[in-house]
């Protein structure tokens, strides 16, 4: 099978969609060595995957093909003999000449305009592509999002499939990185600094706790252009865009990892932190509940889930993480155990099955 994936997310230095595109491509190529995978974009990027069955397309060849989603992508797909196209970032080709799969990572562009100041194109284009049936199949990273997508866009239930993400095997419990983490105990946030992630609560909680305990705060992630700069202050370390290989030590060495996002379609940093055996405090969001394993046997829940409006509950949980490290060992063990139920290889196998469904559905 020849499979093309939208490589546009690879043109940015970080972010969840980039991570998804990289890890999925790597896992697909590893799991299905007999298939060919093409990364296609009208923008310049370098392939992060070094495998013989992963190749890069040429991009637009003339002025007409610069209208990428209308003509250029179609020309590239035809020249390469692609069997199915995977839109990894809310988009598929505008002409249904081949079966296509669209990944809808979340519904945040349609929920709160201030979360995505520059997403007007996604807000206008994606519903049209879904309504016209240009995306043969749709992938969501969680069942919670699958249900919400079906309801919002009035899609057939068998057209939308939930395929959870994984975490790279490099995310494992590791000795603390004293150079990055320093000598003081610290709380940690990993992710893009953007309005939806509720960074204000992270800062507020840490500032109050610092009055009682000598605890630092590390924010590891790229600041998006629409997020205000955070002024320096004692104990606050802004690492900015952080190499992936440094994250396992940061996760493992933290007193607690905070992820009080207002809304998620999955919450990949939560899974990465759990896989590193971290104490994770996250928002009680439906998708994050799935990642953490909430709702089943309590011993299987891998993260503490809290209402983002309940500031006292967050403070109490953080004080326990600081003052009762022995008690936190139970949560660390639960986190690792829960994380073992996810892997990018599993994601690749489930995604390949969706490709096959898309081809079959397109033929009918």
Angle formed at CA 99 by CA 360 and CA 110, multiple of 5 degrees = 115
Residues in the chain with pLDDT values less than 50? none
Whole-number Å distance between alpha carbons of 324 and 318 = 10
138-189 pLDDT tens trace:
999 999 999 999 999 999 999 999 999 999 999 999 986 555 556 789 999 9
Domains of the chain are: 2-166+344-363 (3.40.50.2000), 178-339 (3.40.50.2000)
What is the pTM for the complete model shown? 0.93
Residue 296: the pLDDT is 60
Tell me which residue of 236, 254, 106 sits closest to 177, measured CA to CA: 254
Angle formed at CA 356 by CA 75 and CA 50, multiple of 5 degrees = 65
Largest Cα–Cα separation, the chain? 66
Neighbours of 363 (CB within 10 A): 7
Residue 299: the pLDDT is 59
Residue 14, helix vs strand vs coil:
coil
Tell me the β-bridge partners of 259. Answer: 282
Whether 263 and 106 have beta carbons less than 8 Å apart is answered as yes
Distance in angstroms between the alpha carbons of the first and the last residue of the chain:
19
Work out whether strand 186-190 and strand 100-103 pair parallel, antiparallel, or are unpaired.
unpaired
Is the Cα dihedral 87, 89, 90, 91 positive or negative?
negative
- Name the average pLDDT for the chain: 93
Burial of 46 (0-12, 13-18, 19+ CB in 10 A): exposed
Whether 57 and 39 have beta carbons less than 8 Å apart is answered as yes
**DSSP letter for each residue of 310-331:** -HHHHHHHHHHHHH-HHHHHHH
Residue 113: the pLDDT is 78
E strand or H helix at 220, and its extent? strand 216-220
Whole-number Å distance between alpha carbons of 172 and 154 = 40
Q: Helices in the chain by DSSP H: which ranges?
A: 16-31, 73-80, 120-131, 143-153, 178-181, 199-210, 247-253, 268-275, 286-292, 311-323, 325-339, 344-363
Residue 114: the pLDDT is 80
Whether 100 and 86 have beta carbons less than 8 Å apart is answered as yes
224 — alpha (psi -120 to 50), left (phi > 0) or beta?
Answer: beta
Residue 186, helix vs strand vs coil:
strand
Q: Which residues contact 32 (CB under 8 A, 6 or more apart)?
A: 1, 348, 352
Neighbours of 3 (CB within 10 A): 22
Q: Which phi and psi (to 5°) does residue 296 adopt?
A: -100, -145
Neighbours of 284 (CB within 10 A): 17
Written as six digits, the tokens of 334 are: 């639960």
SS3 assignment for 61-113: CCCHHHCHHHHHHHHHHHHHCCCEEEECCCCCCCCCCCCEEEECCCCHHHCCH
Residue 63: the pLDDT is 81
């Amino acid at each position: 099978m020849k499979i093309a994936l939208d490589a546009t997310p690879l043109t940015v230095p970080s972010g969840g969609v980039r991570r998804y595109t990289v890890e999925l491509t790597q896992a697909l190529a590893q799991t299905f060595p007999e298939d060919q995978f093409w990364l296609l974009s009208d923008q310049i990027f370098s392939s992060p995957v070094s495998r013989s069955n992963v190749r890069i397309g040429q991009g637009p060849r003339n002025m007409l093909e610069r209208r990428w989603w209308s003509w250029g992508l179609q020309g590239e797909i035809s020249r390469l003999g692609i069997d199915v196209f995977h839109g990894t970032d809310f988009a598929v080709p505008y002409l249904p000449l081949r079966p296509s799969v669209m990944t809808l990572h979340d519904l945040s562009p349609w929920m709160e305009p201030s979360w995505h100041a520059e997403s007007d194109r996604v807000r206008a284009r994606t519903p049209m592509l879904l309504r016209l049936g240009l995306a043969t199949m749709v992938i969501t990273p969680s069942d919670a999002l699958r249900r919400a997508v079906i309801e919002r866009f009035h899609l057939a239930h068998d057209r939308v499939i939930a395929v959870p993400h994984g975490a790279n095997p490099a995310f494992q419990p590791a000795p603390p990185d004293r150079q990055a983490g320093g000598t003081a105990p610290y709380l940690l946030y990993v992710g893009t600094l953007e309005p939806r992630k509720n960074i204000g609560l992270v800062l507020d909680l840490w500032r109050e706790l610092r009055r009682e305990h000598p605890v630092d705060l590390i924010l590891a992630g790229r600041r998006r252009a629409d997020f205000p700069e955070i002024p320096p202050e004692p104990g606050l370390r802004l690492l900015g865009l952080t190499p992936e290989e440094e994250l396992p030590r940061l996760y493992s060495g933290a007193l607690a990892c905070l992820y009080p996002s207002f809304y998620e379609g999955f919450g990949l940093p939560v899974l990465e932190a759990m896989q590193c055996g971290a104490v994770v405090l996250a928002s009680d969001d439906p998708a994050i509940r799935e990642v953490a394993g909430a709702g089943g046997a309590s011993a299987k829940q891998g993260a503490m889930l809290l209402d983002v409006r309940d500031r006292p509950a967050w403070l109490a949980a953080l004080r326990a993480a600081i003052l009762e490290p022995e008690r936190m060992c139970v949560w660390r063990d639960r986190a690792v155990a829960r994380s073992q139920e996810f892997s990018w290889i599993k994601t690749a196998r489930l995604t390949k099955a969706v490709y096959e469904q898309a081809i079959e559905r397109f033929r009918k």
